[in-house]
Structure 1
Amino acid sequence: MTVLAAPPTLAERIAAQLPFPAVMAVPDGEGEWVGFDDLLTGDAMRGQFARLAERAGAPAEVQVTHVVGWLAAAVINPLVVARRTAGVVPLLDPAETMVRCDPGGWFNAVAIGDPTPATEGDLDAVLLRHLTELFAPVVAFALPHSRLGRRTIWAVISDRVVQALYPADPADPGVHEARTGLEALFAGCGPLEQRRRWTSVVLPAGREALAPVAAACCLSYKSDEGVYCERVCPKTTEAERAAEIREFCTGK
């Protein structure tokens, strides 16, 4: 008798499309796994702050922008992949979701459990509402750790959402449509809505590259051997960002 293989779980379908972070239903047992809820009640989040400070000489505000940003990416990227490839938005339960803490201070894997998938309505709007609910406690936890304001911490998370949704190639033919879609999506969506600038560059053969400028600076330059993220950094000049985008797109 032929035994049919079980269909892949949602976590397996996401993992097949996402090289990083590692995505699974349950922790694989390796490394330091922490529940999403426990990040904010124990010492795990503070431990990540301390690891980054020790590894990179990062002051408190850099610890917040990086650790919160990495946590956001670890959660946001799998949800965006599920939205695009499976047509659903997994509604993660913080009590059942776990992340793996990397010794460098970031998060390199997420175990999403068996979340209820949202399948109806405006799924992009559902995605943003769900992320707002998930990260409101994270923002509140991180707020007293540095002098950064609430709006800035939300901007860090918003930048990760844009990074996940916007084409990786700023010269992609669909960038204008993507920009319009993002601006419509974020309008009136609460703290994830941020004022955002865009850099446009004319490339050879009349092509255009269009890239979003980060709403918040990650402040990496304040760390030991830190640098500006020229292609998206709001602290660099328009000319510097344009040069970086041109080099990224053409190699020149």
Structure 2
Amino acid sequence: MVWIDNTLFQSPGYVGPRVLTADGDHWRTLAELFANGSTLLATHMSRYGEAEEAPEDTTAAYFIGWMTGLYVRPALWAVREHGLLPEYDPAAISVRLHSSGWYDAVSFSRGPARRLDGSAARKALAEYVHSLGADLVESIGRHTRLGNRALWAHVTDTFADAFLPRPALGDDAVAASTDADATLAEASFPTPGPRWVHYEGATVGLGQSCCMSYKVPGGTNCAPVCPKISEDERRMKLAEWRNALPDRRDS
């Protein structure tokens, strides 16, 4: 049996959400948040919406993206770097509540992990994220007007985006987008992943989901990835985004 806990993510090479030991009253397990009849998730979403003046649908979009990323990014890193996949167990995964209502860290209780590589790792990771997505869509769906397909699109977009290196440049980024598509294909997700655009040596995923950040005071579209902008505007925003990447800024 292989075991995994938070110490794995203290490596200097780890890049992703903060992974900490759950300690104190600000931590909640996913099982607590997902439980039928629990008001915790609704309370946290409401608190965030009030603090940021975000409408209910924008808040729901933010939360499902954040909560997907908190599991996906560490899990993907563990698979790539160590060939280990943390089991998806809502009772063994905790998130830390920020004072404004969102979640800013994740904790994995010490538990079993699967040692996997290649296609077996892709399939297991996809199945775990599918299970997480189903729980998120059901739980967050109780507190939003957004439909299941819109919520699932946030899951698949966030999952796919986690594969890209930062910055997403060169052949590594192209290979990562191909790996993301192959992994998504290993489970029956209700929505596809993003449409990849390879632009002047950089890679970006054009999302199937809209976070509706433009509804927040001072917010804008998440261009160039926003699905709601015109193709002319997208081309302009792609050029602005590409010019802001490090290899252009440092040249």
TM-score, normalised to structure 2's length?
Answer: 0.85
Which residue of 210, 221, 232 maps to 2:214?
221
Matching of residues 103-252 of structure 1 within 5 Å: 103-120=99-116, 122-187=120-185, 189-191=187-189, 193-194=191-192, 196-202=194-200, 208-236=201-229, 237-249=233-245, 250-251=248-249
Number of the residue aligned with 1:82: 78
Moved more, 174-183 or 51-60: 174-183
| Whole-angstrom CA distance in 1 between matches of 2:150 and 2:133 | 13
Q: CA deviation at 1:75?
A: 1.4
- The aligned counterpart of 2:89 is 93
| Residues 177 and 224 of structure 1: CA distance in aligned 2, closer, same or farther (over 3 Å) | same
2:178 aligns to what SS in structure 1?
helix
Kindly state the Cα deviation for residue 232 of structure 1 after the two structures are TM-superposed: 2.1
Matched, 1:57 2:50: no
Aligned amino acid, residue 177 of structure 1: A
Quote the residue 1:12 is aligned against: 7
Query: What is the deviation of 1:39?
Result: 0.5
CA distance in 1, matches of 2:178, 2:92: 35
Q: Deviations over 1:81-105 (max 9, x none)?
A: 1111111111032112211111223
For residue 172 of structure 1, report the CA deviation from its aligned partner. 2.7
Q: 1:9 to 1:142 in 2, by over 3 A?
A: closer
Aligned-pair RMSD on alpha carbons?
2.2
Residue 210 of structure 1 deviates from its aligned partner by 2.1
Deviation at 1:248, TM superposition (A): 2.4
Deviation at 1:167, TM superposition (A): 1.9
Flag structure 1 segments of 5+ consecutive residues without an equivalent.
Answer: 1-7, 203-207
Amino acid at match of 1:75: Y
Distance in 2 of aligned mates of 1:213 and 1:200 = 11
TM-score by length of 1: 0.85
Size of the aligned set, in residue pairs, is 238
The answer on whether the counterparts of 1:199 and 1:242 sit within 8 Å (CA) in structure 2 is: no
- Flag structure 2 segments of 5+ consecutive residues without an equivalent: none
Share of identical aligned residues, percent? 26
Deviation at 1:180, TM superposition (A): 2.1
Task: Rate the CA distance shift 1:175–1:97 in 2: closer, same or farther, 3 A.
Answer: closer
Cα distance in 1 for partners of 2:126, 2:102 equals 23
**Cα distance between partner residues in 2 of 1:189 and 1:245:** 32
DSSP 3-state at the match of 1:22: coil
User: SS at 2:28's partner residue?
Assistant: strand
Runs of 4+ in 1 over 6 A off after TM superposition: none
> Which amino acid in the other structure matches residue 36 of structure 1?
L
| Residue of 33, 41, 47 corresponding to 1:39 | 33
Query: Cα deviation per residue 1:57-85 (whole Å; 9 max; x = unaligned)?
Result: 11111111011111111111111111111
Higher Cα Rg: structure 1 or 2? 1
- After superposing the two structures, state which structure 1 stretch, 98-107 or 82-91, moved more: 98-107
